[in-house]
Structure 1
Amino acid sequence: MSLLTTIIKLRAAQTERALPLSRVRHHHLSHRPLIVIPLNRSGEAASPLALMLGTHQHRPHLLVAPPRGTNSDLLNDTAAVINTYIQGFQQEIETRPATAKRPVQELYTDAPQILVPNAPSAQYLQLLGRALRFRPPPDGIDPTLSAPRLGQWLTYLSDRREYPGSALMLALTDLLATHWATGQSPMEDTNLAAILAWIDPPLHTTGLRAALDADNPLLHRPAGPTTDPSFDSIELDRIFKDFDTARTSGNTEAQAHHLADLRQTLDAYLRPTWNNAWTALSLLQGLPQTPGANKRWTTDKLHFTQQSRYIDDGGRPQPINDHAVQAARRLGQLEQAAANFEAERALEDPFALAERHTTGEAFTGTVVETDPDHTALTDKGNLTLRPRFTLHTTDPLRLEPGHTLVTPDNTKRRYAICESTPQPGGSRIVMQSNTHNGTLRNPNRDAIPDLGAEMCFTTAPEYFQQPQFPTRENTPWTHGGPPDDQASPQPAEEDA
């Protein structure tokens, strides 16, 4: 949590109302998302008791497992609903023309989006996917609508969720906490009812008082995936015992009655969270979406298209653990995605840019000197125009020389820090313009700002690059490369 966010949260606690952190949205929100609210059976790791899911607020699907016995029917019904939803986006193809950096690409025109109430629910779906994807396809069920196929998709969507900026699977509490600061702790912000109470409290009350009411599990049930202990002991235990008694006596009519009672009870438990999820979605949709969110959604569509083709071609389920090289590549991709996402946010969101000012990852300075005719040698030994100018800044600076920077006023130009010298009351920074400079014969004087101009700089998104990994042929066998044809060498004896 940055210093600026901490100050705003303290102010929210003082005023007892949530305060905005960002007035723009950095994640794409689909016009037809699938909201999924899982509820796990008490005492078991990934055994759902019920799920409420759907794409329409007033027509949710409530799927309930029986009190005793297998939950195969629930899993099959869940797989049919979610897989059918995903298949609805595997119809229309669009083509992205080739550019200087990439070839022609074909991708689906849209992609699925699953919204869950909180991060624990997303983690539960990931756990459920891991439990389902290795199951054999059941007989008599279309493999494309089966629980194993659902396991593959849940695992894939959960993996994509780890990439900052990806929007294929999102937790609503995470999105709300990104855009509003409450006066409660980050742990309390994972309660959907509580964070909504701060943001949108009822009339004639404050966010704090509404959140205190929402924290009462007897008045507002937790959003899952685990049930509240009082709900288990007071309501579920009674229904389960009555069902067991009816099953032991062979009273089928009583069993059906208790199943209907269980369904009604779980509907009453999940319905408030279902309504809160749609309220949260409405609040988030009211924020303008940034161009960067559209760009990242295109990347999501491309990944979804590639995964769809992999699965359609009979691709095997994801392994339990990645081998060493694949794990390193994935870590590099996550680090690059996180750095690029934060850099892109700063270019589109004044609050994110202000946060980077407090950490020294952005600075504002006044132009005090200019050198429009400065030249430099390229890698090929050619002389090229590289104008320079000097800034004076009082902001803290953590960026070292060589960093590629960009200004929010013109994101197409690229600059670099050549020299940074601390001075009393600030720093003296020599900057170089690396793009759109013109030529020696026809220079572009707009590349250099005027004396006295105020300029703001932050890290360019493309500055962060993945490390170069060796090819499989050059990877040692100990890290997943091809095995050596020769016998493994014997360890040398240690010196006495």
Structure 2
Amino acid sequence: MSTLVALARAQAFASGKAQPIATVRHLHVSDDPLVLIPLAMAGEANAPLAAMIGTSLEKPRLLVVSQPRNRDERFAFTAALAGELLPYLESFATETEAVAVDRGRDVRYRYVDAPQVWVPNPGGVDFLRLLGRSTRFRRTDGDYPVPPAVPLLGQWLTFLASAAEMPGSALLSNTVQALGMHWTTGQSAAEDAQLGSLFAWITEGAAAAREAENGPVAGPATDPGFDNKVLAPLIAESSPELEEVLRDLLTPTWERMWRSLDLLRALPAGARVGTRWDSDRDTYSAFVEHLAEDGAPQPRRDGAVAAASRLQRLENAAARYAVQRAFDDPLVMAEHRLTGAAFAGVVTLANPDRIDDTGKRPVLRPRIMVATTEPVRVEAGTNLTSPARPSQKAKVISVAPTADGCDVLLELSGGMGRKLVAEPGSVPAVGERILLTTLSEAYRPGAAFPDPADTPWTHGGPPAAAVTSA
């Protein structure tokens, strides 16, 4: 927990009202989302009990498994879920747009929009991941066949769950995490995991949150007391009242999720949210193309090289997402200013036409002086970036203490055009207030991984001796 979030949590506790910890929205919220609330039976490994699904607050569809231990009923439920979910996921694979690649020398195509599925909490994401894993390899013929839509649904659920692991992705989002990214409450992190309590803190305050704690859960697990007193007798008797009981259980969560989307939409989107959604559209387009051309289900587990490559992508995405959030949101950047990773100041001197001719050819290297009253914990030679000019580097030449702070001399490179004269506005002018930080959105090249066949036998590759003797 950061210092500012801890302070906001203390203020929320004192005031009884959730406090904002972001000034902009840090994730994409679709104009046409699908909300899905899965519910599993307690004591059974990911056995579906019910699901409420739909693209409109007024028209939820409730799917129920009256006997969760019955294999046929479970796969009938999965087929019904596929009947609701697959048309939505495939409906965006229509209109495409051209995207320039290779510096404009070529183009590729992607769909102009992509689906966005919302679940209540991280447990909902885990439920869909396990459901996808248990269905994508099912056979539609032979012994114990399943409806044709079941394995296809499994592939889509695996795709969505995999996308949810990527920091910044919004193809599969959970409401608890989205709300917690923008507001903080006066209760513990464990209590924030309860959607009803978290939502009540944000909309009404602590008193309403205490009442919401005793309300219905948001799945996928059910309350033990509800299981023993209500659910178990209804399942044992195959009671027709089961559907109505489950509808009453899920409806409050259904309404809170749609109201949560309205809360998020009320926040202005961060400047880089659109770029991340473009990446989601690329991912969606690639998967649709895979289904059309190959259609093979995802492997049960990654090999050593694929796992290492994926881990690196996740790490790079997490670092990039943290930087983008800070660049988009002054409240997030304030935390970095507290730690000395960023500082703000006023330009007091500027030489925008300075030329460095010490190398093989002259290059434009303007210098500016920034006066700041904030602590500066960077040394000469450090490269800084301004969120206002992310493509420009500012190299620290010197840091000189003053009576009320320090003067930082910077040499600029990049983001000023290709001539020996800086483009207008590309060099900060005297009197301009700028923010500088060690954070950077610069591209991080991936590591070179070996071919899977060249990995050692401990990581999937055969021993060289064994290959030779064979």
Q: Calculate the TM-score normalised by the size of structure 2.
A: 0.89
Letter in 2 for 1:310: H
Amino acid in the other structure paired with 2:6? T
Matches within 5 A, 1:310-459: 310-367=290-347, 370=350, 372=352, 373-375=354-356, 381-397=360-376, 404-408=383-387, 410-411=388-389, 413-419=391-397, 421=399, 423=401, 429-437=408-416, 442=421, 447-450=426-429, 453-459=432-438
The residue number in structure 2 matching 1:174 is 177
Secondary structure at the counterpart of residue 364 of structure 1: strand
Unaligned runs of 5+ in 1: 202-206, 244-257, 491-496
What one-letter code is carried by the residue in structure 2 that aligns with 1:76? A
CA distance in structure 1 between the partners assigned to 2:411 and 2:129 by the alignment: 47
Question: 1:52-131, aligned counterparts within 5 Å?
Answer: 52-67=52-67, 68-70=69-71, 71-98=74-101, 100=103, 103-131=106-134
Write the letter of the residue equivalent to 1:59. Answer: K
Q: Indicate if the aligned counterparts of 2:37 and 2:119 stay in contact, CA closer than 8 A.
A: yes
Distance 2:418 2:225 in 1: 75
Q: Cα gap change, 1:136/1:456 in structure 2, threshold over 3 Å: closer, same or farther?
A: same
Counterpart residue number, 1:247: none
User: What is the SS of the residue equivalent to 1:35?
Assistant: strand
Give the Cα separation in 1 of the matches to 2:407 and 2:264: 42
Deviation at 1:467, TM superposition (A): 3.3
State which drifts further: 327-336 or 133-142: 133-142
Closer/same/farther in 2, CA of residues 60 and 451 from structure 1, 3 Å limit: closer
What is the CA distance between 1:483 and its match in structure 2? 5.8
What SS is found at the alignment partner of 2:302?
coil
Q: Structure 1 residue 440: deviation in Å?
A: 7.7
1:45 aligns with 2:45: yes
Q: Of the candidates 179, 190, 194, which is equivalent to residue 187 of structure 1?
A: 190
Shift in Å, 1:295: 1.5
Contact 2:66–2:235 (8 Å) recurs in 1: no
In the TM superposition, 1:446-485 aligns within 5 A as: 447-450=426-429, 453-459=432-438, 461-463=440-442, 465-470=444-449, 472=451, 475-478=454-457
CA distance in 2, matches of 1:421, 1:293: 35
For the residues of structure 2 that align with 1:442 and 1:366, how far apart are their CA atoms?
23
Q: Quick one: distance in 2 between partners of 1:400 and 1:79?
A: 58
SS for the counterpart of 1:289 is coil
Post-superposition shift, 1:7? 0.6
Aligned-partner Cα distance in 2 for 1:463–1:26: 20
RMSD over equivalenced CA pairs, Å: 2.9
Distance 2:306 2:92 in 1: 29
- CA drift at 1:357: 1.2
Which 5+ residue runs of structure 2 have no aligned equivalent? none
Query: Corresponding residue for 2:218?
Result: 223
Paired residues in the alignment total 462
Letter in 1 for 2:272: G
Q: Deviations over 1:252-274 (max 9, x none)?
A: xxxxxx1x211111111111111
Partners of 1:66 and 1:174 lie apart in 2 by 31
State the shift of 1:31 in Å: 1.3
- Identify which of 210, 213, 216 aligns with 1:212: 210
Change (3 A) 1:41 1:332: same
TM-score, length basis structure 1: 0.84
**What's 2:138 paired with?**
135
2:35 partner amino acid:
I
- Give the 3-state SS of the residue equivalent to 2:444 in structure 1: coil
> Structure 2 CA distance, aligned partners of 1:72 and 1:438?
60
The percent of aligned pairs where both chains have the same amino acid is 35
How far apart, CA to CA, are the structure 1 residues paired with 2:441 and 2:375? 23
